[in-house]
Structure 1
Amino acid sequence: MWKYYIFRFAYLILGRLSLRALYGISRVTSDVSYRFRRDTRDAVASNMRRLLGPGANEDEVQRATREVFRNAGRYYADLIHVGRLDVERFYNERYEIEGEEYLHDAKDSGRGAVLVGTHFGNPEMAVQPLAAKGFSIMGLVETLEPKALSDFTLWLRERQGHVYRTIGYAGLKETIRRLKSGGLVAILIDRDVAGTGVPMQFCGAEASISVGAVDLAIRTGADLIPARSWRLPGYGFKVVVEPPVEIIRTGNLEADLRSNTERLLPIFEELLRSDPGQWAVLEAIWKDQPPQEGAVQ
């Protein structure tokens, strides 16, 4: 329960601070975490080596690794602050979006949409301003322990009118109902949280990739829409919503899940490599990790 009490205490004490102040605090705590959480640091560094490529030296790898920790810290600062957001002002002053028309079309047509993304920047924060345009997006998220912490973070995420459910049977049933009624659901595919992913090539090596987004689109007839988001300098966000992807259906569900998911990956590979430090994933994604500079082969 200590994680819950610490986060609850942080919310009560820090929740009224400005986002600028919260980011400043998160930077300090993130740098401390980077210094002392060696196992996590090593896992993140292995991801950075994959994204930066063989030409990157260890200083570059560690700079990107430290930035991942800082971005993860900003995520928690965002979460503490989300209830105080003026989403209309956020949309008008700190938000850039391309392709919003695809969201309106999916909603207005009644088809619904599965929005596919990654843990880049802060996708949960990137959807918040859309509440100002009448969107209520449902997100499927990882269950946290203890349950009190999971419930509290869900409450924070939903403060602006979006809906969040933990991955599981009940959440899946509600997701299907929402899609069939023309709603929008967001799923991130770069972490195999449920442990049901399929091994496929991602950034040049095999990783376990979630096929749940494609599965839901196939089963419900909803649009499958890739969406990229990233942080802008300061406190802004940029979102690019791609046109719906035409789903290939051969009648072989297993093959269709793999092939359609594989077609999405190049979009996100380019995004991750554009600024690796914004990829807020704190565990090793690839089993076959690239060697460190100077390692004996």
Structure 2
Amino acid sequence: MKDRLTDALYGLGWGAVKRLPEPVADRLGRAVADFAWSRRGKGVTRLEGNLARVVPEADAARLRELSKAGMRSYLRYWMESFRLPAWSTERVREGFAPEGLHHLVDGLASGRGVVLALPHMANWDLAGAWVTTRLGVPFTTVAERLKPETLYDRFVAYREGLGMEVLPHTGGAAFGTLARRLRDGGLVCLVADRDLSASGVPVDFFGASARMPAGPALLSVQTGALLLPVTLWYDASRILQGRVHPPLEVPESGTRAEKASAMTQRLADVFAAGIAEHPEDWHMLQRLWLEDLETRPEPAGTAVPGQPGGSDTASPPVSGTASDRFGTEKS
């Protein structure tokens, strides 16, 4: 019954919210965000706990202010995502204004293939739709299989409708498919700031230990593709903002695992800088740091409202079997 209800609610979102006028959808999203924030549920308190590490000088009042803004940003993501399939091509093209786009354009022109790695910031679905629509470049991503299966099918159909190729993270074939796409000069996009598997790569993140999937780095090491970090944020306008950062260089020495580990740490550093600039747009409503996970374990794939998949797009770690080479994606 719970699975059917979850599926029905998401179906209602895509079926009803996308028909609302944009100002009405904006007001609805803000009202839902403020209500959820006022309830002080687990997602909100966890968001504040995470923000306390990002903004260590913030007092309790500042953290509550940031978490309220964070919930509004989070619901803006969902309202936009529910409505995105109904947006016109021109609306999508005008909806994102990235800086540093030449890193992506030049990388694709080189024929080496490009891996874009993103944290859970602002609206990565809109950024992806912009790439396929404005640049005319298809890309491949990975999603965790959700329960119920009908909900997973909804998300796959939604993202494929935006021009993305979506691979399931189970079954062991995703990494090989991603590698082939890159060797053919293609584009792979992975959301990669959270990994709860036992094989995630340890990184220092805001001064404490966390694990992140090494998939983006490992793909770069193995295929020669460029690894480009991307950070996103909202401003006061209706236009999503973003930055494509310079490529992360593959270390000249070390084993494949050592190279991937070093690159994952550099990726974490870029993510941390972007999140510190726009902490309210980091949608991390789950435990991330090892200290928090040790306090009360939270298994991978545990959902929070609006995050059926737990975390977002998966990437293969340095080691592990074919079936566990991926983290999970916030579908």
Q: Deviations over 1:237-278 (max 9, x none)?
A: 122212222111424122212111112222221111112110
What stretches of structure 1 move > 6 A for 4+ residues in a row?
Answer: none
DSSP-derived class of the 1:285 partner: coil
With normalisation by structure 2, the TM-score equals: 0.80
Q: Deviations over 1:74-133 (max 9, x none)?
A: 222122111122233432x44322222222222233211111111111122122222222
Tell me which amino acid in the other structure corresponds to 2:103. Y
For 1:65 and 1:147, the matched residues in 2 are separated by 32
Counterpart contact for 2:95–2:130, Cα < 8 Å? no
DSSP-derived class of the 1:145 partner: coil
The answer as to 2:189 corresponding to 1:179 is no
DSSP-derived class of the 1:267 partner: helix
Q: Deviations over 1:141-192 (max 9, x none)?
A: 3332212111101211222312233323233332222112111111122111
Q: Which residue of 2 aligns with 1:133?
A: 135
Counterpart contact for 1:118–1:190, Cα < 8 Å? yes
Counterpart contact for 1:19–1:78, Cα < 8 Å? no
Counterpart contact for 1:112–1:180, Cα < 8 Å? yes
Q: Deviations over 1:171-227 (max 9, x none)?
A: 333222211211111112211155531222101111112211101111111111112
The answer as to 2:156 corresponding to 1:154 is yes
Q: Which residue of 1 aligns with 2:220?
A: 217
For 2:147 and 2:31, the matched residues in 1 are separated by 25
TM-superposed deviation, 1:37: 5.5
Match of 1:8 among 7, 11, 15: 11
Q: Which residue of 2 aligns with 1:68?
A: 70
For 1:172 and 1:19, the matched residues in 2 are separated by 38
Q: Which residue of 2 aligns with 1:165?
A: 167
Identify if the C-alpha distance between structure 1 residues 73 and 12 changes in structure 2 by more than 3 Å, giving closer, same or farther: same
Match of 2:203 among 196, 200, 211: 200
Name the stretch that deviates more: 238-247 or 32-41: 32-41
For 1:170 and 1:30, the matched residues in 2 are separated by 38
Identify if the C-alpha distance between structure 1 residues 27 and 196 changes in structure 2 by more than 3 Å, giving closer, same or farther: farther
Identify if the C-alpha distance between structure 1 residues 94 and 8 changes in structure 2 by more than 3 Å, giving closer, same or farther: closer
Tell me which amino acid in the other structure corresponds to 2:116. L
Q: Which residue of 2 aligns with 1:99?
A: 100
DSSP-derived class of the 2:173 partner: helix
Q: Which residue of 1 aligns with 2:327?
A: none
Aligned residue pairs, count:
287
Q: Which residue of 2 aligns with 1:43?
A: 46
The answer as to 2:238 corresponding to 1:238 is no
Counterpart contact for 2:54–2:275, Cα < 8 Å? yes
Identify if the C-alpha distance between structure 1 residues 171 and 274 changes in structure 2 by more than 3 Å, giving closer, same or farther: same
Q: Which residue of 1 aligns with 2:34?
A: 31
For 2:168 and 2:284, the matched residues in 1 are separated by 18
Q: Which residue of 2 aligns with 1:292?
A: none
The answer as to 2:86 corresponding to 1:122 is no
Tell me which amino acid in the other structure corresponds to 1:157. R
Runs of 5+ in structure 2 lacking a partner?
293-331
The answer as to 2:271 corresponding to 1:263 is no
Tell me which amino acid in the other structure corresponds to 2:135. K
Which residues of 2 match residues 81-92 of structure 1 at below 5 A?
81-91=83-93
For 2:138 and 2:40, the matched residues in 1 are separated by 37
Identify if the C-alpha distance between structure 1 residues 193 and 5 changes in structure 2 by more than 3 Å, giving closer, same or farther: farther
Counterpart contact for 2:203–2:268, Cα < 8 Å? no
For 1:264 and 1:155, the matched residues in 2 are separated by 30
Tell me which amino acid in the other structure corresponds to 2:249. E
With normalisation by structure 1, the TM-score equals: 0.89
TM-superposed deviation, 1:31: 2.2
Q: Percent identity?
A: 26
For 2:222 and 2:33, the matched residues in 1 are separated by 41
- By relative contact order (CA 8 Å, sep 6+), the higher-ranking structure is 1
Identify if the C-alpha distance between structure 1 residues 110 and 214 changes in structure 2 by more than 3 Å, giving closer, same or farther: same
Name the stretch that deviates more: 5-14 or 171-180: 171-180
